[in-house]
């Protein structure tokens, strides 16, 4: 019995196949990450190019919004006609009723749209997005599929729609640093972009890692991203088996913690500028999901115009004429 060799080839295959399979999964995940870095860089360039031609563009195309500003605060829509107001009181809200708000002004919306389109290809699939809903996997166990086929997906067109319509708006922030690489962001509601100002557009994207096994090695959840679990585990290990190695390891972990935590807070500050921050917090709260925070930026000179557009001249003339007519 001890000298039987039935199945030894299968055992050898498993021993040789396992490390190569792990290497394959890691290569796939790293390839996806490399692709994501390129796409986010392209999205930052699109955002910068759109910003430099939009910030000082003709107000006629942006509901006469003020030039050289990017409004990010919510603004109420115009009051509805009397018929719509009556319908709202009888049958509930209707499109365009007064009080319904939009996130940001038209200029900022156009910049965001330019960045959302390339970022949509990095979006999770519909099934992966459904996992972000609380208790979704318990209701539909099929959503818990972590296979490589489920990670890559087979509906590229629907993935783009999902990314453009939902995920990009909840997991990508378009901000404007004061200078390239700066941690200080412009207050776009008050900061004025000069005619020849250098505008830096930064895109911060929460990229979801979906490749099984490799995702746990390459990516982290929100708690691990803070850097706190590492020092805590090293401290507990040093308390259980005190030695020079364990104590020095715990010391190194705690020494590196402030830097990693500062990077986490900087990324969280960037993500707080997303269009749908509530949904973003719901996505990050899922500790079973792994992410990589990718930040890219591009800088271009502003295409400011020192003259007034026809719409501004006409608006000023109409205002002057109405003011002259109103006098007795």
Structure tokens at 255: 């020494």
DSSP strands (E only) in the chain: 75-76, 101-102, 172-175, 198-209, 290-301
Q: In whole angstroms, what is the distance from residue 208 CA to residue 216 CA? A: 12
Collect contacts of 125-132 with beta carbons under 8 A, ≥24 apart. Answer: 125/150, 125/153, 125/155, 125/158, 125/159, 125/162, 126/155, 126/158, 126/159, 126/162, 128/153, 128/208, 128/210, 129/162, 129/166, 129/167, 131/286, 131/288, 131/289, 132/282, 132/283, 132/286, 132/289
Structure tokens at 45: 């360039």
Question: Partners of 40 in the beta sheet?
Answer: none
Q: In whole angstroms, what is the distance from residue 104 CA to residue 75 CA? A: 7
Question: Partners of 198 in the beta sheet?
Answer: 301
pLDDT for 2: 56
Residuewise pLDDT in 10s, the chain (328 residues): 556 666 777 777 778 888 888 888 889 889 999 999 999 999 999 999 999 998 888 888 888 888 888 876 555 444 444 444 433 333 333 333 333 334 668 888 899 999 999 999 988 887 777 777 766 777 777 777 777 777 777 778 888 888 888 899 989 999 999 888 888 888 877 778 888 889 999 999 999 888 888 888 888 888 888 888 888 888 888 888 888 888 898 888 898 888 888 888 888 888 888 888 888 888 887 778 889 999 999 999 988 878 888 787 888 887 777 665 444 4
pLDDT for 4: 64
Instruction: Using DSSP, state whether 63 is helix, strand or coil.
Output: coil
Q: In whole angstroms, what is the distance from residue 35 CA to residue 44 CA? A: 14
Alpha-carbon separation of residue 317 from 58, 196, 314, 324 (angstroms): 16, 28, 5, 10
Taking the CB of residue 302, how many other CB atoms lie within 10 A of it?
18
pLDDT for 94: 35
Structure tokens at 143: 């959503």
pLDDT for 96: 37
Question: Partners of 101 in the beta sheet?
Answer: 76
pLDDT for 204: 92
What residues does each domain of the chain span? 11-75+102-208+292-320
Taking the chain, what is the end-to-end CA distance rounded to the nearest angstrom?
117
């Amino acid at each position: 019995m001890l000298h039987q060799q039935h199945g030894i080839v299968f055992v050898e295959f498993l021993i040789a196949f396992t490390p190569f399979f792990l290497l394959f999964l890691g290569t796939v995940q790293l390839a996806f990450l490399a692709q994501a870095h390129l796409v986010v860089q392209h999205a930052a360039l699109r955002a910068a190019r759109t910003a430099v031609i939009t910030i000082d563009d003709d107000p006629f195309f942006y509901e006469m919004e003020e030039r050289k500003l990017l409004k990010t605060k919510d603004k109420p829509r115009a009051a509805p006609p009397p018929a719509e107001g009556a319908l709202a009181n009888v049958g509930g809200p209707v499109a365009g009723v007064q009080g319904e708000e939009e996130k940001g002004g038209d200029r900022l919306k156009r910049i965001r749209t330019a960045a959302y389109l390339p970022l949509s290809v990095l979006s999770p699939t519909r099934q992966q997005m459904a996992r972000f809903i609380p208790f979704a996997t318990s209701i539909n166990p099929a959503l818990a599929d972590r296979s490589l086929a489920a990670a890559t997906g087979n509906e590229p067109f629907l993935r783009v729609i999902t990314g453009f319509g939902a995920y990009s708006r909840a997991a990508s922030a378009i901000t404007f640093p004061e200078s390239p690489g700066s941690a200080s962001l412009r207050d776009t509601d008050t900061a004025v972009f000069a005619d020849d100002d250098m505008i830096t557009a930064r895109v911060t994207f929460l990229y979801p890692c979906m490749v099984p096994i490799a995702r746990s090695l390459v990516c982290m959840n929100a708690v691990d991203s803070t850097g706190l679990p590492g020092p805590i585990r090293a401290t507990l290990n040093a308390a259980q088996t005190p030695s020079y190695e364990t104590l020095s390891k715990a010391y190194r972990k705690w020494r590196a913690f402030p830097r990693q935590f500062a990077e986490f807070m900087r990324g969280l500050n960037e993500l707080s500028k997303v269009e749908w921050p509530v949904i973003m917090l719901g996505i990050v709260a899922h500790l079973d999901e792994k992410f990589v925070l990718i930040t890219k930026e591009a800088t271009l000179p502003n295409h400011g115009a020192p003259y007034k557009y026809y719409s501004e001249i006409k608006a000023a003339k109409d205002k002057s004429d109405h003011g002259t007519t109103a006098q007795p």
